[in-house]
Amino acid sequence: MTSPSSTSSSSSSPAAHDELLDLLTPDRRLAGRTAVVTGSSSGIGEAIARVLAASGAHVLVHGRDQARADRVAAVITASGGEASVLTADLAASPESTREFARRVSDMLGGRVDILVNNAGIFPTGPTESLSDETVEALLATNIRVPHQLVAAFAPAMAERGDGAIINITSWMGRVGSPFIALYPATKAALEHLTRAWAAEYGQRGVRVNAVAPGATSTPGNAEAADILAQMTAATPAGRPGRPIDIAWAVRYLASDEAAFVHGTTIDVDGGIVATRMG
């Protein structure tokens, strides 16, 4: 695996990030393990899927768009990794999430070793402008779905005495921001669930942790590149995050290197929460 120190940290452009993913060097630290990464057909989820696969995990790529998910899986397999694809709208209903979990179990031979709850939505606007449908979608995607997937997969992990769950939260769950109240609240809830699940499952061998990305450049927010640059100019890192920055942290938490790490949230945010320099 190419290490962070061996790559340039001065650029977060899509081209530079794609080059980092294409230069991943295979290793075997996750060999023999299966990983489910929700929302992995692009952006942060794609980077997580590709990094875990480069480290030997068989990754189940999830998204709502078949072509996009197939593309990620094809890139993984072309690089010598293992990947399966399962598309689903997890937020459509509780039953759709349960059906997804059943199908995942069947596809992976009844064993999920690593669960990455990455899928999320990010609507913005004044509190009074959010429709009932938007509120329901936020709560379903960002809280209900991770809760259901942990309920589906953690008991079997606990029975085996081994497993890793990593929740993707957000730096915004730590601060109050105008015109974007509910999204950070859902991420703060997921961070609390991380601690609660660590307490619930940790003594039975399941490690539950979280990664909180900072302002991160992804294909989904490409039109806001100038805003992200302004937001991060005065941080210690001095730039927006890259999806691969998040993926490296997830890989660490999924690996045996993090065997003594339980219930924590790793801030991969360039220092945006911990410091004020501007």
**4 assigned to some structural domain:** no
Residues in the chain with pLDDT < 50?
1-10
Residue 3 pLDDT: 41
Active-site positions? 183
**239 assigned to some structural domain:** yes
CATH number of the domain that residue 241 is part of: 3.40.50.720
**106 assigned to some structural domain:** yes
Percent pLDDT > 90 in the chain is: 87
Q: Which tens digits make up the pLDDT trace of 192-223?
A: 999 999 999 999 999 999 999 999 998 888 88
Which residue is associated with the tokens 């030997």?
56
**6 assigned to some structural domain:** no
Distant-in-sequence contacts of 190-197, Cβ < 8 A, 24+ apart = 190/117, 190/142, 190/143, 190/146, 191/167, 191/265, 193/143, 193/146, 193/147, 193/150, 193/167, 194/167, 194/169, 194/263, 194/264, 194/265, 195/263, 197/150, 197/154, 197/165
**22 assigned to some structural domain:** no
**21 assigned to some structural domain:** no
Residue 14 pLDDT: 58
Residue 242 pLDDT: 95
**155 assigned to some structural domain:** yes
> How many domains is the chain built from?
1
Question: Could you tell me the two tokens for 257?
Answer: 């290197």
Residue 15 pLDDT: 55
**2 assigned to some structural domain:** no
Q: Which tens digits make up the pLDDT trace of 111-149?
A: 999 999 999 999 999 999 999 999 999 999 999 999 999
Range of the domain at 154: 27-268
